[in-house]
Amino acid sequence: MNDSNSKKNSGSTRTIRVGALARVEGEGALHLVMNGDQVEKVHLEIYEPPRFYEAFLRGRDFKEVPDITARICGICPVAYQMGSCHALEKAMGVFDDVTPEIRELRDLLYCGEWIESHVLHMFMLHLPDFLGYESAISMAEDHGETVKQALRIKKLGNTLMDVVAGRSIHPVNVCVGGFYKAPDPKAMAGLLPEIEACLDLMCELTLFLAEHITYPELVRDYEFVCLNPEEGYPMNLGGLISNKGLNVSQEEYGKAIEEQHVEHSTALQSIIKGRGEYLVGPLARLNLKSENLHPRALQILPKVCTLLGSQLPWRNNFMSLPARGLEVIHALARSADIIRNYTLPAVSRVPITPRAGRGAHGTEAPRGVCWHEYETDHEGGITFARIIPPTSQNQVTIESDLRDLAKLLVDVTDEEAAMRCEHLIRNYDPCISCSVHFLKFTRDWEGGRAGAVSQAGVSDGD
């Protein structure tokens, strides 16, 4: 938001303040304090109000959980539903009973969410940065065809979710154990021509992104973390791995990372114990598991790398844009495969007898690993819930990125610097309405200037 930037110079200290970040899901703000060419502070503020999901889940019935956790995020409700379902199936002792047919349907639903969420972010929120527009609405005036094509693919993602699970925002057909009702094979098959058409469009769009967009250089030595399924690209199953030696089961993951308070922020931030920051999301998945992409995406990968002039692994998170493009191709092609093989399954969900138990599971939200842990009593009532969303795991890394970027912005105007920092934050597709774990903070800074970080001040103008 341009007009909320304020420039305050005191000696050689420069403060850049982006009051309200536009084009991110949820609300956040950034504070950057520089002293000469040194970066003194980088604060990514999340002023999403706490909603206390982990508290009010206690006492609810396990069957209600996927409907409730979906409401953590309207952009990626399936991610929360999948985390809840898998973790609670473990708690109820039925995880291994879930049939391959149910697992395929879950992948299909998730593909719909990846398509919808990725395309929304890529073309409505992120691409305008690269092409120099304030929004996709302005961008549409010059690039109408691209925006229309993107809207068409996004719509298909929503339609896939509608057909599998009733609606795309807060799907109603998902339950612990599977689905309330198996989707209609005819309605599924009817989607195939549009999927094929969108697949061709998405290949063209991804090549366009690789060929015609200039990606700012910000190469960093990230620790990439993603799921490690036995087969296929990371989505619902598998343990967790990284490029720096992490290799843990789902249950161990909760102990391998810790959520900590750092001095400059009251947000709970995840780090890998004894090592530090890490990155989840499309770049992590692509770098670690590109060989498991669908053949349609694998086929185009070398060309994308050549056009970008960069072979995998990509260590520049601005390239999360083409990485998402490849993942959308993957999700479209995988959807078509699942639908072609689909016949009405004998059972749409496995039976569950409530029991006291404990289960932990994370899945790949479009933005990265979204990990859940629950404990239940003998009637299946929730006694404990812990949810670690992707953006809280990326937050330390985002701030480190900003620290490196800020050093390169010494000579540019505050307005330009603010725009470039915003652009960088959008690489992460931060979904900060997942306020399960986010706090806002108030803190004195610049030698004790009280209340400089006014959370209230951003939007109500004081």
Partner 1 sequence: MSGITIPVQTDKPKLAVYKFSSCDGCQLTLLNLEDHLLDIAGAVEISFFLEARRRVLPPPYDIGLIEGSVSTPEEEKRVHQVRRDCKYLIAIGACATSGGIQSLRNWANVKEYADLVYPSPEYLKTLETSTPVAAHVFIDFELRGCPINGGQLLEVISALLAGRKPNIPSYSVCMECKRRGLPCVLVSKGEPCLGPITQAGCGALCPGCSRACYGCFGPMDQPNIGALGGKLTGELGKTNRDMKRMLRSFNGYLDPFKPASDEYERLEQQEK
Residues 334-373 that bind partner 1 (CB under 8 A): none
Query: DSSP states of 90-106 as a string?
Result: HHTT-GGGS-HHHHHHH
Question: Do the Cβ atoms of 200 and 107 come closer than 8 Å?
Answer: no
Q: Which of 68, 160, 218, 257 binds partner 1 (CB under 8 A)?
A: 68
> Looking at 49-57, 193-201, 210-218, 444-452, which segment touches partner 1 (CB under 8 A)?
49-57
Compute how many residues bind partner 1; rule: CB under 8 A.
Answer: 79
Among 1, 131, 201, 308, binds partner 1 (CB under 8 A): 1
Q: Which of 61, 142, 416, 444 is the binder for partner 1 (CB under 8 A)? A: 61
Picking from 276, 196, 263, the residue whose alpha carbon sits closest to that of residue 445 is 263
List the one residue out of 2, 152, 165, 144 whose CA is nearest residue 70.
165
Regarding 376 and contact with partner 1 (CB under 8 A), the answer is: no
Task: Single out the residue of 431, 371, 436, 426 nearest to residue 402, CA to CA.
Answer: 426
Among 66, 77, 112, 368, binds partner 1 (CB under 8 A): 77
SS3 label, residue 399: helix
Q: How far is the CB of 404 from partner 1 (least distance, A)?
A: 23
State which of residues 84, 146, 149, 168 lies at the interface with partner 1 (CB under 8 A). Answer: 168
Q: Which of 5, 13, 64, 229 binds partner 1 (CB under 8 A)?
A: 64
Contact call for residue 124 and partner 1 (CB under 8 A): yes
Chain centre distance of CA 189: 29
For partner 1, the binding residues in 200-259 under the rule CB under 8 A are none
CB atoms within 10 A of CB 242: 22
Binding of partner 1 by 50 (CB under 8 A): yes
Tell me the per-residue interface mask from 255 to 294 with partner 1, x by CB under 8 A, - otherwise: ------x----x-x--------------------------
Q: How far is the CB of 264 from partner 1 (least distance, A)?
A: 13
Contact segment (CB under 8 A) with partner 1 among 95-103, 167-175, 234-242, 361-369 equals: 167-175
Stretch of residues binding partner 1 (CB under 8 A), selected from 145-153, 210-218, 324-332, 356-364: 145-153
CA distance 429 to 320: 9
27 binding partner 1? (CB under 8 A): yes
Site residues for partner 1, window 83-112 (CB under 8 A)? none
Burial of 353: CB neighbours in 10 Å, binned 0-12, 13-18, 19+: exposed
- Asked whether position 25 contacts partner 1 by CB under 8 A, the answer is yes
Our CA angle for 380, 383, 387, nearest 5°, is: 105
Helix axes 295-308, 320-340, angle to 10 degrees: 160
Q: Which of 430, 435, 406 is nearest to 418 (CA)?
A: 406
Find, among 21, 43, 19, the residue nearest to 31 by Cα: 43
Residue 88 or 293 having the CB closest to partner 1:
88
CB of 316 vs partner 1, minimal distance in Å: 23
Q: Which of 13, 99, 104, 169 contacts partner 1 by CB under 8 A?
A: 169
Site for partner 1 in 439-458 (CB under 8 A): 439-442, 455-456
For position 16 contacting partner 1 by CB under 8 A, the verdict is no
> Distance between CA 330 and CA 286 in Å, rounded?
11
- Asked if 414 interacts with partner 1 (CB under 8 A), we say no
d(CA 47, CA 39): 23
Stretch of 92-100, 175-183, 211-219, 312-320 lying at the interface with partner 1 (CB under 8 A): 175-183
Task: Pick the closer one to partner 1 by CB: 217 or 460.
Answer: 460
Bridge partner list, 45: 29
Angle at 241 between CA 268 and CA 322, to 5 degrees: 85
In 3D space, the residue among 29, 23, 21 whose CA is nearest the CA of residue 123 turns out to be 23
**Which residue among 103, 152, 264, 403 contacts partner 1 (CB under 8 A)?**
152
Q: Which stretch binds partner 1 (CB under 8 A): 130-138, 304-312, 406-414, 445-453?
A: 130-138
CB of residue 229 vs partner 1: minimum separation in angstroms? 28
Q: Are strands 357-365 and 247-248 parallel, antiparallel or unpaired?
A: unpaired
Using CB under 8 A, pick the residue from 14, 16, 17, 21 that binds partner 1. 21
Cβ closer to partner 1: 174 or 210?
174
Question: Which among 275, 229, 277 has a CA at the least distance from the CA of 249?
Answer: 229
Closest contact distance (angstroms) between CB of 291 and partner 1 is 33
- For the chain, report the end-to-end CA distance as a whole number of angstroms: 16
